[in-house]
Chain A
Amino acid sequence: MEAKINAILEKALSAIPNAKTKNDVANISAEIMGPNGELTALMKLIPTLDKEQKPVAGKLINKAKSQIEPLIAQAYERIENGRMAEALGERPDITLPNIDAPRGTIHPLTQTIRRICDIFKKAGFTVAEASDLETEWYCFDALNTPADHPARDAQDTLFMPRDAKVANVSKHGDELYLLRSHTSTVQIRAMLKEGAPIKILSPGRAFRRDTVDATHSANFHQIECLYIDKNVRLTDLKAALDYLFKNLFGKSAKTRLRPSFFPFTEPSFEVDFMSSDLGKLSNKWIEIMGCGLVDPNVLKNVGIDPEEYSGYAFGLGVERVAMLMHSIDDIRHFYANDVRFLNQFGGK
């Protein structure tokens, strides 16, 4: 009996690991443990044995069974794993390149806008948008720029015909539509709608009647920043500018305010900044944008009491920042959209 059991066991040990298919395993399993299996046949003999031999034979058979059963389970698992692994196909050369298109890119101007908005978001500034099409009042009058001001000259601003009707850009009076020459228009619309205090950034397109060259573009992007609250002072403006430029151009960046003139701020300044991380332009004052305390007349024009509220505003040229940051030498690259340009600004 014992010899027979050992023979069965030996056969199982050699056949089961070599089984190729689930069918093979089932056949072997049946041959040994099925109703007509060899081991089953031996079990059927047990009642015929001597009283002393019965328990011995029973133990031996059970032991053999407990050795064979896991082998069968393992065989099934091995075969099923193999089948699934086949679906993976051949082992790849892991150094082959990707087949699908690589991740696309976000335009460097968009990235610069996001970067600046993210920097200021931490400080409680949120984005406000308004239309590209504007009217004279929002673009000039409300911003304290009277009708005979040089900035309003038709030579610099793109106007729409007098009969143009725009359904979803509101007029203030009988005035011409135009393409906004700066994003300061958003200040006006936001203050009229939301009042004070207000703390916004307005990224968007602005338009000038300029001949296109390496530094001029028929449209460009600006980010206008406006903060109106009680007791906003010149020191707050300086602190905001330092915060911005340190975050944009590194800890070494510093700013300088140079007196200037804009109709919508008083006092007005040009901002120069200097950084040690700008290659050839390092450690030189670079003119970057205009800023100032919001002129009380502007606040009056949008119904905010200048005795109670004050604030600052500045307008940053997005192209200019992006050109400095990435050492881009020609503004036209931004609008040509050559993928050899765009792909350099992957990530983000």
Chain B
Amino acid sequence: MKVSLKWLNKYVDLSDVSVEQIAEALPMLGLEVENVETFGLKQIDNVVVGEILSREQHPNADKLGVCMVKVSPDREPIQIVCGASNYRVGDRVPVALSGAKLPTPDGGVFEIKVSELRGVASNGMMCSARELGLGTDHSGLLILEQRPEIGTPINEVFSDSDTVFEIELTANRGDALSHIGIARELAARFGKKLKTPELKYAPKYDTKPAGGLLDAVELKTPNCPLYVAASIKGVKIGPSPDWLRRDLEAIGLRSINNVVDITNFVMMEYGQPLHAFDANDIRGKKIIVRQALDGEEIQTLDEKKHKLSSDAMLICDAEGAVALAGVMGGLNSEVKDHTTDIVLESAYFNPGNIRATSRKYSIHTDSSYRFARDVDPQSTLDASRRAVDLIVELAGGRVEEITCKVGEMPRGEVEIDLSLPYVIDRLGFEVEKNEVPEAMERLGFFVKENGPDSWKVTVPTFRNGIDRPIDLVEEFVRILGSDRIPDTEFVTSAPLRNDDAIFTHNRSVADFLASNGLNECQNYTLCDSAELKKIHENVDALKLANPLTSDQDCLRTSLLDGLLGVARLNIANGSDFKGFFESGRVFRAENSGEIFELASNAFVIADNSARREWKHREKPDFFTAKKYATDILSILGVDASRLSFSNVEEPMWQDGFVAAAGAVKREGFVVRFGAISTALLRKMGIDRPVYAGEILFKPEVADRKKGIVKFKHFSAFPAAVRDIAVIAGSDEKASEVAFEIQKAGKQKMKGLKFELESVSLFDVYEGKGVPEGSKSLAFALSFRAEDRTLQADEVSKVFDAICEELSKKRKLRMA
């Protein structure tokens, strides 16, 4: 919203307040200033019209003249040294007297002082246009051809200057969407008096219109609780006077004709939108306010046609719509050059309805903007009277003594109890007792004493949403100034609460993976469902009901999509990296169709570090992914050694190179790791193997009680180790063979006073000496006793027994 300083001065005298002070005060009142623009001459004190009485050559400088200049009708002329040459004796020019502060092009000020120029006294400065900040002309003095009176302040000569503030308001400040509203705030801030226009027209209100222009006004929707229609006959439509035209143009409105300009002017003055109908266009002399019929059409003033649904509100005559209520007038009823009789509408429309209509049909007008922010119901009456006064004054015509008023004000004044201890308790610092009622009164509220340190505060209708003591505290701080809040010590207490486990978990995982050389990423939660389908054929993503764009129309089901994209980007850039990871939320449907929001830790490894290879290192492989995945599980509190991993057939993963375990519903987590499908990688334009892993879990899994570890005693005596190699089928799982050894061990060690403490695989061999289609798996069996060093023969005895047991099913390969 644009506000003109000159216009504001009609309601509050700001002549002794600088533009800078206003521009600083507004934001601190909660009225954000987007822009400040000054047109014409800024207010400059001590610059007056002077007449050059004489010019002598400067004794010590060829280019300087010494002039006697009369700057006041009743003061002696003063001597000024001047370097310009475009003037003649007798010219009148702007003269900056000692103390004048001239604007400089860089935004600063240049103060004029009595001085000496090459030995000759100079008591001021005659100015060019640029020196006054009036444009860029610096070719010589600004000759005032119209010869204004000597001594006239220069601002009176260039009086059409103005400053326009562009103000952005929060949703609660409908009261400030007008010049009177802003003036009220500034008056409160600077301790000045607010002057509202004197209203001459004092109508009698009746629900039945008089004067013959209208026969009836009917309100058929709860969205219009109050409607006022004044009738004016015999107006003469014509151009607006200069002041009106100027005021409107200053805030960016176009002058149309006197009556339309007046409705706009009063809207910008009071914040109450008005609408003038040509009375002849109101068919059947009837105004009906109602909701639209589904499919009903209206052509608005901007000549656009709108097909409406029943949530839009219309102003209608006996035959149909004449305006989209509160938003825009209809093309069929606007004031025209030949209009003589007008019906002036002023109404209160429910904010929510106007906002919805304005949004739905994308019609944003000064009117809808104000109605949507709740106009003052009192101004519905006052603005109507003000507009009548101006129309009668500027366009002639006779106003009907009776104004039709239907309905009631939807809200009235609010009385709130407020006490000093309450205010101080909310603020946390002391204020003087009288500061509270003073601030309230400056805001235009009414204050009554109500016992010691207590008041009853009445909030007029222009402020909505102030109905509790805490709301008044907010108003008080606004007017008091938040700079009054003192610096105090930060008092701290520890409520003995811990960080949520999911946060701690993600922090540990990030530290772990970063320590392993991976870079953490952040990818968007929203993704393109078409792209997602290419990667996850069988996964149902949750689609948005109202996506902004089709490439962000659903929620990610995995963090890997984003990470693969990151790998692709960095490979394309030729950057050096080892891999990437991310922690975040994903959303996926389980078989039941229910969506789960799951926490995820995911990583990709696509080692792109060729440049570091001055010495050979093993490339990452499946087991790099397995290590990271199982370590993350361990951070989560899941013992991966107890999990049974199996292959899955999913298009994302390379068949046979992927391991999966867990189930969201039953176990709370699911894990996948391995090699990304080469087909997918090629489709994405990635030309090398990528290993990856993702652990999805319900966030509360991170919070599972881990239990306290109980120490288990361990033997002080050495272990005896025996190695065994087992021949297994190429496709057989090492974990199954290990399980068989353990089973045989358990069986053969029954009754013995020592144990088989571990079976660990240390070699896998295929090739010479092993039959085709088989592999040799070498395990180390470690035996230990609690109380002694084992004897070789007792170990050999049981080891042989285990081998014998195994050899019933398997071929053993003795080393």
Contacts and interface: CB of A to CB of B under 8 A. Distances in A.
Contact of B495 (A164, A198, A236): A198
A121 B498 CA distance: 10
Contacts of B614: 96-97, 99
- Choose among B351, B485, B596, B607 the residue with the greatest number of A CB atoms under 10 Å from its CB: B485
B427 A109 contact: no
Given A167-B592, A199-B493, A259-B28, 8 more contacts: A110-B510, A123-B492, A133-B555, A167-B596, A218-B524, A259-B477, A293-B426, A342-B519
A107 B497 CA distance: 27
B170 A339 contact: no
A160 B554 CA distance: 9
Nearest to A96: B614
B609 interface: yes
Nearest to B613: A99
Interface in B427-443: 427-429
Contact of B485 (A127, A158, A218, A235): A235
A101 B607 contact: yes
Contacts of B489: 239
Contacts of B101: none
A101 B596 contact: no
Interface of B: 27-30, 32, 170-173, 351-352, 355-356, 359, 372, 425-429, 468, 470-471, 473-474, 477-478, 482-483, 485-495, 497-500, 502-503, 507, 510-511, 513-526, 542-548, 552, 555, 566, 569-570, 573, 575-581, 584-585, 587, 590, 592-597, 607, 609, 612-615, 617, 698-699
Interface stretch (A15-23, A24-32, A261-269): A261-269
23 contacts: A101-B609, A103-B515, A104-B514, A106-B510, A123-B490, A124-B493, A132-B525, A149-B171, A158-B544, A160-B542, A160-B545, A167-B595, A218-B525, A233-B425, A234-B426, A234-B485, A257-B482, A261-B171, A266-B468, A335-B523, A337-B523, A339-B573, A340-B573
Contacts of A240: 490
A96 B461 CA distance: 79
A254 to B, nearest CB: 9
A194 B543 CA distance: 33
A103 B577 contact: no
A128 B171 CA distance: 30
- Choose among A104, A337, A338 the residue with the greatest number of B CB atoms under 10 Å from its CB: A104
Given A104-B578, A127-B503, A229-B493, A337 B569 contact: yes
A205 B597 contact: no
Interface string A122-141: 11101111011100000000
Contacts of B590: 167
A276 to B, nearest CB: 18
Contact of B597 (A103, A149, A169, A194): A169
Interface in A224-262: 229, 231, 233-236, 238-240, 242-243, 256-261
A148 interface: yes
A158 B546 contact: yes
B590 to A, nearest CB: 7
Contacts of A314: none
A11 to B, nearest CB: 42
A155 interface: yes
Q: Across chains A and B, which 4 residue pairs bring their CB atoms closest together, nearest first?
A: A233-B428, A235-B428, A101-B517, A148-B352
A91 B352 CA distance: 80
A37 interface: no
Contacts of B573: 338-340
A159 B545 contact: yes
B30 A261 contact: yes
Contact of A107 (B29, B487, B521, B587): B521
A279 interface: no
Contacts of A209: 546, 548
Contacts of A236: 428, 488, 490-491
A104 B520 contact: yes
Interface of A: 96-107, 109-110, 114, 117, 121-124, 126-129, 131-133, 148-151, 153-155, 158-162, 164-169, 176, 179, 194, 197-200, 203, 205, 207, 209-211, 217-219, 229, 231, 233-236, 238-240, 242-243, 256-261, 266-269, 293, 295-296, 310, 334-340, 342-343
Contact of B519 (A123, A235, A339): A339
Contact of A100 (B170, B474, B517, B579): B517
Contacts, number: 265
A92 to B, nearest CB: 10
A126 to B, nearest CB: 5
A342 to B, nearest CB: 5
B613 A168 contact: no
B636 to A, nearest CB: 15
Nearest to B28: A258
B500 A127 contact: yes
Contacts of A238: 485-488
B490 A256 contact: no
B311 to A, nearest CB: 12
A179 B524 CA distance: 13
A98 B617 CA distance: 11
A104 B428 contact: no
B485 A97 contact: no
Contacts of A127: 499-500, 503
B490 A234 contact: no
B514 A103 contact: yes
Contacts of B495: 124, 126, 197-199
Contact of B170 (A159, A239, A260): A260
Contacts of A126: 495, 497-500
Given A242-B490, A266-B470, A105 B30 contact: no
Contact of B522 (A107, A114, A117, A200): A107
B515 A104 contact: yes
Contacts of B32: 258
B426 A233 contact: yes
Contacts of B570: 337-339
Given A337-B566, A338-B569, A340-B575, A105 B514 contact: yes
A243 B507 CA distance: 24
A306 B505 CA distance: 35
B517 A148 contact: no
Contacts of A122: 492
A295 B485 contact: no
A205 B497 contact: no
A296 B471 CA distance: 10
B499 A218 contact: no
Contacts of A109: 522
A97 B580 contact: no
Contacts of B491: 236, 239
B596 A168 contact: yes
A231 B425 contact: yes
A158 B155 CA distance: 54
B550 to A, nearest CB: 13
A205 B510 CA distance: 17
B733 to A, nearest CB: 31
A102 B607 CA distance: 12
A340 B570 CA distance: 9
Contact of B575 (A99, A169, A258, A338): A338
B513 to A, nearest CB: 6
Contacts of B592: 167
Contacts of B544: 158-161, 179
B514 A199 contact: no
A159 B546 contact: yes
Contacts of A200: 497
Contacts of A166: 594-597
Contacts of B499: 117, 121, 126-127
A295 B470 contact: yes
Contacts of A179: 525, 544, 555
A206 B500 CA distance: 18
- Choose among B545, B573, B579 the residue with the greatest number of A CB atoms under 10 Å from its CB: B545
A342 B584 CA distance: 18
Contacts of A269: 482
